[in-house]
Amino acid sequence: MKTIRDVMTRGVEVIDPNATLKQAAEMMQRFNVGPLPVCAGDKLVGLVTDRDLVVRGIAMGHDPDTSKVSSVMSEDVECIHPDASLEEAAELMKDRQIRRLLVVDDDKNLMGILSLGDLSHEASDTTAAQTLEQISEPSRSLH
């Protein structure tokens, strides 16, 4: 049985919590990504997304040239161990309605990232379809 370690994406680009919002946006543009894991050394301390930069940063008046990533990042992010099963990852993604999981070891060192795409390449069509369906359900009413 394959584990997360077998299918995760390695060599993930990360950003330091003391980097500026502008530096984060530039990295996102350069690597064509929306989320960036935030690491102090090898330790995962959070996640910053393009939406965080806009909604928590710009909309709240943060100066992109001086405000730090740590001021807008999410600290409580969903993680999974590299030895977990693909089924565990699919369940966690469904339960939390998320499209990616950060992969960390016992010491919270970032080892990689598992996306819904990574999972869909390895999981059965049924598992991938069910996971996507659950993730795509609105979490609350839009009205």
Q: Say if 137 falls within a structural domain.
A: no
Contact 134, 94 (CB under 8 A): yes
Reported confidence tier of residue 13, pLDDT bands at 50, 70, 90: very high
**76's tokens:** 């409580």
3-state secondary structure the chain: CCEHHHHCECCCCCECCCCEHHHHHHHHHHHCCCEEEEEECCEEEEEEEHHHHHHHHHHHCCCCCCCEHHHCCECCCCEECCCCEHHHHHHHHHHHCCCEEEEECCCCEEEEEEEHHHHHHHCCHHHHHHHHHHHHCCCCCCC
> What's the pLDDT at 1?
78
Q: Say if 136 falls within a structural domain.
A: no
- Per residue in 76-123, pLDDT tens? 999 999 999 999 999 999 999 898 999 999 999 999 999 988 887 765
Reported confidence tier of residue 127, pLDDT bands at 50, 70, 90: low
Q: How far apart are CA 56 and CA 89, in angstroms?
A: 28
pTM of this structure: 0.83
Residue 34: is its pLDDT beyond 50? Answer: yes
Q: Say if 142 falls within a structural domain.
A: no
Domain count, the chain: 1
Query: The domain spanning residue 78 has which CATH number?
Result: 3.10.580.10
Q: Say if 48 falls within a structural domain.
A: yes
- Per residue in 39-69, pLDDT tens? 999 999 999 999 999 999 999 999 999 999 9
Residue 18: is its pLDDT beyond 70? Answer: yes
Residue 142: is its pLDDT beyond 50? Answer: no
Q: Say if 21 falls within a structural domain.
A: yes
> What's the pLDDT at 143?
43
Name the DSSP letter for residue 31: H
Q: Say if 140 falls within a structural domain.
A: no
Helix, strand, or coil here: 72?
A: coil
Q: Say if 69 falls within a structural domain.
A: yes
Q: Say if 53 falls within a structural domain.
A: yes
Containing domain of residue 118, as a range?
A: 4-131
Reported confidence tier of residue 124, pLDDT bands at 50, 70, 90: low
The amino acid sitting at 132 is L
> What's the pLDDT at 141?
44
